[in-house]
């Protein structure tokens, strides 16, 4: 469940970039296609890893989403015109990190249960 949520959130983050830079808030100081290209570059390797079915793809999606979390907080804090978009981007990135972490915890607990180890104390 967390894996599918993480994948959906990753693609929502990918979808947000063209919507942001081409439609809702195009940049004023450089061409929109350039800003969009720069925004999509960190997401491209994760897309390739997901397409190849690599188990580490979600880990890297979580790592890359930290960049977008920082970008969203920065935009929300400094640019009043894009405050909503920035906070939306930060919340997507935060939810993605949480979903990736939940998936990792679930896998670790399942491996521990399969090995017959007692569950950790809380």
Distance separating alpha carbons of residues 76 and 88, to the nearest angstrom: 9
Report whether pLDDT(29) > 70: yes
Residue 119 has a pLDDT of 67
| Residue 122 resides in a domain | no
pLDDT (0 to 100) of residue 121: 72
121 is a domain residue: no
54 part of a folded domain: yes
Query: Is 120 within a domain?
Result: no
The count of domains in the chain is 1
Give the alpha-carbon dihedral of 71, 74, 75, 76, to 10 degrees: 120
Q: Are 69 and 59 in contact (CB under 8 A)?
A: no
pLDDT tens-digit map of 103-122 = 778 888 888 888 876 766 76
pTM of the model: 0.86
Residues 6 or more apart whose Cβ sits within 8 Å of residue 47: 14
Whether residue 57 is contained in a domain is answered as yes
Q: How far apart are CA 65 and CA 74, in angstroms?
A: 14
Query: Does residue 93 lie within any of the structural domains?
Result: yes
In this predicted model, what pLDDT tens digit does every residue of 59-106 receive, in sequence order?
A: 999 999 999 999 999 999 999 999 999 999 999 999 999 999 997 788
Q: Which domain holds residue 81?
A: 2-115
Q: What is the mean pLDDT of residues 11-24?
A: 96
């Amino acid at each position: 469940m967390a894996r599918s949520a993480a994948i959906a959130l990753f693609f929502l983050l990918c979808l947000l970039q063209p919507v942001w830079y081409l439609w809702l808030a195009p940049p004023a100081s450089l061409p929109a296609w350039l800003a969009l290209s720069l925004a999509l570059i960190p997401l491209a390797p994760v897309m390739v890893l997901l397409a190849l079915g690599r188990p580490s793809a979600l880990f890297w999606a979580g790592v890359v989403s930290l960049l977008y979390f920082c970008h969203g907080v920065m935009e929300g804090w400094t640019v009043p015109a894009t405050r909503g978009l920035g906070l939306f981007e930060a919340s997507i990135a935060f939810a993605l990190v949480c979903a990736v972490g939940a998936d990792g915890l679930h896998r670790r607990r399942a491996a521990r249960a399969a090995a017959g180890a007692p569950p950790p104390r809380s």
